[in-house]
Structure 1
Amino acid sequence: MRSLRSARLGAIVLVLLTLAGAYHLGFFARVAEPKILAETLVEMGAWGHLVFILAYTVLQPFGVPGTIFIVAAPLIWPWPTAFTLSMIGTMAASVVGFSFARFVAKDWVSARIPDRFRKYDASLERSAFQTVVVLRLILWMPQALHAFFGVSKVGFWTHFWGSFVGYVPPLLLVSYLGSEMFDASGRIQPGAWPILAGLLVASLLIAVLARAHGRRRSSARLSDAQRLV
């Protein structure tokens, strides 16, 4: 018990030191907006790929918006490279946020989960994978959602693969159409609204279909159970 407590304390101290170091080295200023981040990564040449993933992994779970990174990526690299790096960084950040909430500071994090996420507890118990996919597809990567999944009963790999599937459409869209959707400062361009509206409609349609499928499965299981009685 004491060793577990020491490990958690060590992890918290490591996180705080990492964030303090990032602040001291000016990383927070460099990720203030996509244009600044893009210019910084271009200056690093081939090292920019690694720095992008590491910065995304370390900073996003603890406050830096993930959109800064996924908007910056297509400003620098061809869309396949931007999509690949964005997916790696987003998944890594999600795992860090999930793991911190589950294994390091569960009680502290649980008390601070927004009420709007608590209503999904029942859905996670009924159909965890589908719920993770839908929430990631619609809400993307807010830190509070990482934390909510971390303190929930959803399994690590269910969260991992559900997040992966849910992230593919929005990250692919931003990587492929990034320059048409956002300017260099990360502001949404007028032409992006129809694209975002289409993504929202598609996401809601998928959510409705997934919920209907989950209800059919639950009804089928209930019918089978009643026949066995």
Structure 2
Amino acid sequence: MSDEPSAEEDIGETRSKKIPWAKIIVFAVVALVGVLVYWQYGDAISLDALAQREGQLQQMFQDHYFLTIIAAILLYVIVAGISLPGAVPLTLAYGWFLGFWLGLVIVSVGSTGGAVVAFLLSRYLFRDWIQSRLSDRFQSLNKKFEQEGAYYLFTIRLIPLVPFFVVNTAMGLTRIRTVTYWWVSQIGMLPGTAAYVYAGSTVPNLQTLADDGIGKILSWQVLLAFAILGLLPITLKKLLPLFGFSPSDTAKSTESDVVTDNE
């Protein structure tokens, strides 16, 4: 048999390296919609604007409890999904408006849902084209993420200093499973989400939050603590082999057992 690629493989490779104009147009439309939405309604989700409607929001929550919860989740999914500015003020406002526990649930569900939307947009719009141009680099990267993608993602998610859209876009280019991306993001973002929601729940009113600013509520010490928290998985991974425990050896042993059983 000849080792030379067939004509069909050549055609497939040529197509994969072509500029995906259809996907670029879709991305441009999504980006344009995001810009227009933020330009038209961006001020509406600012702390100052929400503070001016404080009484109306409370009344709406009392009159339309479940509808308000659904609307709050969808709003957060949209903001996070198309990477609009304002996620942090919105999180603080949810903490004040809904209380800690309900606010935590809604922000956690909404932020993870938005992360999955952004992740899928990145995957289906750009991954094939970028991998075709950087195939050698992406082969090694994909291999690492197939083996330990959940671990790396969990580490990144524990650090709220890493920009949200950067994580979503970068992870969409890998081969990490969507379900894995969802549940790891859900758990990994929970500590940071809890801190922001709790900070919002402690202020007496939204006007105080708007006047004082986010800096007085979330100090650099808190953010530094989360950065240190994010480094713990890496530290543990380096220290565990010193005590005779190797996660990779365990994984190989498990894989060997599975192969033996199948035989």
> TM-score w.r.t. structure 1 length?
0.72
2:114 is equivalent to residue 83 of structure 1: no
Partners of 2:238 and 2:93 lie apart in 1 by 34
2:43 is equivalent to residue 29 of structure 1: yes
**Paired residue for 1:126?**
147
SS of the aligned residue for 1:134 comes to helix
Partners of 1:124 and 1:57 lie apart in 2 by 26
**Paired residue for 2:69?**
49
1:221 Cα deviation after fit: 5.3
User: Which sections of structure 2, spanning at least 5 residues, go unmatched?
Assistant: 1-19, 62-66, 133-139, 257-263
Instruction: Report the AA paired with residue 44 of structure 2.
Output: R
1:219 Cα deviation after fit: 4.1
2:186 is equivalent to residue 164 of structure 1: yes
1:20 Cα deviation after fit: 5.7
1:135 Cα deviation after fit: 0.7
Contact 1:136 1:167 in 2 (8 A): yes
**Paired residue for 1:150?**
172
- Cα distance per residue 1:144-174 (max 9 Å; x no partner): 1101111111111111111011011111122
**Paired residue for 1:73?**
94
**Paired residue for 2:64?**
none
- Cα distance per residue 1:52-92 (max 9 Å; x no partner): 32222223333324223212211212111111111111011
Partners of 1:104 and 1:170 lie apart in 2 by 29
Partners of 1:135 and 1:92 lie apart in 2 by 17
Partners of 1:82 and 1:146 lie apart in 2 by 23
**Residue 15 of structure 1, aligned match among 14, 18, 30:** 30
**Residue 175 of structure 1, aligned match among 185, 194, 197:** 197
Contact 1:22 1:28 in 2 (8 A): yes
Partners of 1:8 and 1:197 lie apart in 2 by 39
SS of the aligned residue for 1:152 comes to coil
Change (3 A) 1:191 1:164: closer
Contact 2:96 2:202 in 1 (8 A): no
> TM-score w.r.t. structure 2 length?
0.64
User: Which sections of structure 1, spanning at least 5 residues, go unmatched?
Assistant: 112-118
- Cα distance per residue 1:180-228 (max 9 Å; x no partner): 69962342217734433333333322442256569822245568999xx
Q: Greater CA radius of gyration, 1 or 2?
A: 2
Change (3 A) 1:62 1:108: farther
Change (3 A) 1:104 1:165: same
Contact 1:41 1:52 in 2 (8 A): no
Partners of 2:97 and 2:225 lie apart in 1 by 26
**Residue 203 of structure 1, aligned match among 220, 230, 234:** 230
Partners of 1:211 and 1:40 lie apart in 2 by 51
Instruction: Report the AA paired with residue 178 of structure 2.
Output: F
1:98 Cα deviation after fit: 0.2
Contact 2:115 2:168 in 1 (8 A): yes
Change (3 A) 1:102 1:191: closer
2:83 is equivalent to residue 95 of structure 1: no
Instruction: Report the AA paired with residue 156 of structure 1.
Output: T
Sequence identity of aligned pairs in percent? Answer: 18
